[in-house]
Amino acid sequence: MTGRKMADKKGDSGSESDSTEEPVVGNVNKFAVVPPGYNGRPKKGHLIFDACFESGNLGRVDYITEFEYDLFIRPDTCNPRFRVWFNFTVENVKGDQRVIFNIVNFSKTKSLYRDGMVRIPAKHVYYYRCPDHRKNYVMSFAFCFDKEDDIYQFSYCYPYSYTRLQNYLDNLEKKNYNFFTRELLCLTVQQRRLDMITITNPDNLDPEETKRIVFITARVHPGETPASYVCQGIIDFLISNHPIAKTLREHIVFKIVPMLNPDGVYLGNYRCSLMGFDLNRHWQEPSPWAHPTLYATKNALMEFDRMDFYIDLHAHSTLMNGFMYGNTYDDIDRYERQTLGGCLEDNSHCYTLEVSFFSYQTNSSNMKLGRNLARTFLDYYKLSGIISTKPTSSIVPKPGPYRLRDRQSERDQSNDVGYEESRQQRRSSYRNSEFNINNTNAFSETPTSIRLQLRDRENKRY
């Protein structure tokens, strides 16, 4: 660390730009910022910055005065273009110590900071062009440390780490719900898990059953943490005691990949993977070694004869509220490059759900948005007429060793004629539904290559 200022050159377009200056590499690690010429151990009030933890990001701190510090975001690994996400702690403060922090090297010019996104009083926050940093946009905020013994954490948005997700999924798996399974699709470059969960009534996994499939993914861009809160809200609702959740489980197969970019999340990147790839630009030809999570997820998608919905969850840094994007490009080449639109069946619905980094003030609000997204499928599939009027204790089966993989053995041992008649009636109702899903078997039973699957699809189409 040095006292010399460094700034990144960028335009005023609002998009990411390349840096022509010396790069910021690595996170600060218990770095004490002391006045120039000072020797000895840091005194109380000499701030200690740290970002060497999971999802942390702060590359450099410059001392300006005892009241002011310039902070530099560490760019995404192997990709200096992206500098948005920050997440760091400050300690060794004095009570009532007042400071100004300037975050000086954002790679975007447009920001919701102008609309008050920082969750401290708006009169203490400024977002402006700074002549000291080549007229780059700087976000400055004043802060008062009120308790000496506290460690203060600052981040671009509420963090949601890889470890948090793993603990959440571990706890769900321990409940042994018969409608919930978790499987490992692959390991990342750094050997982290890519999980896919399935939430549905076990009967829906019968190979002879016609399936309504909704596939949901999140966190392809690691810094977009609101997407994880939305995703958890979806999962929490679908496994809940609510009668709508039970009805959805009875009629729909939900496949969810909660974190498409575990390495990027762990490293504290904003948009890229460990190797510097924006994974959302590599769906068409994912590499099994460079983009293993996309490759595995796309193979999982290709296993289905028909899929009703694919929804990818994101967060937006310049717009408010929550909204959806769909594929409406007239240029078919652009349509197929940007999304999964060219890989799915023509009658599959492919959407991106964006939730603002700012509009939802708390984690619980984002989770409620996820809950409400799940509830919309009740209307789409016209299932409201069969919903239970009152929740009962039997809506969620009691935890136990009973799992989806035990279903077939149980069925083989069952001689319950009434159960079999009920199953046949339900299968018939699926086939007669307005939203009947055709079992076209577009791909081989055990796909091994995305290229072969796409080629087979083209052959069947023409």
3-state secondary structure (DSSP) of residue 461: helix
Laid out side by side, the sheet with 253-257 consists of 180-187, 193-199, 253-257, 213-218, 309-316, 349-356, 322-326
Task: Report the C-alpha gap between 105 and 83 in whole angstroms.
Answer: 7
92: alpha, beta or left? (left if phi > 0; alpha if psi -120 to 50): left
Alpha carbons 384 and 196: distance in angstroms, whole number: 28
Q: Which two tokens stand for residue 365?
A: 């609000």
Burial class (CB in 10 A: 0-12, 13-18, 19+), 256: buried
Cβ atoms 160, 259 nearer than 8 A: no
Angle between the N-to-C axes of helices 162-174 and 226-238, in degrees from 0 to 180, rounded to the nearest 10: 10
Structural tokens at position 215: 């596939």
CB count, 10 Å around CB of 327? 18
The answer to whether 32 and 46 have CB atoms below 8 angstroms apart is: yes
Complete DSSP assignment for 420-453: HHHHHHHHHHHHTSTT-------S-SS---HHHH
| Distance of alpha carbon 261 from alpha carbon 26, whole angstroms | 20
Inter-axis angle of helices 226-238 and 243-251, nearest 10: 90
> Annotated catalytic residue: which of 354, 410, 421, 458?
354
Cα–Cα separations (whole angstroms), residue 372 to 164, 310, 354, 421: 23, 17, 14, 34
Question: Which amino acid, one-letter code, is at 128?
Answer: Y
Buried b (16+ CB within 10 A) or exposed e, 329-357: eeeeeeebebbbbbbbeeebebebbbbbb
Cα-trace Rg, the chain: 25
Compute how many other C-beta atoms are within 10 angstroms of the C-beta atom of residue 92. Answer: 19
The answer to whether 354 is a known catalytic residue is: yes
* Residues classed as catalytic: 354
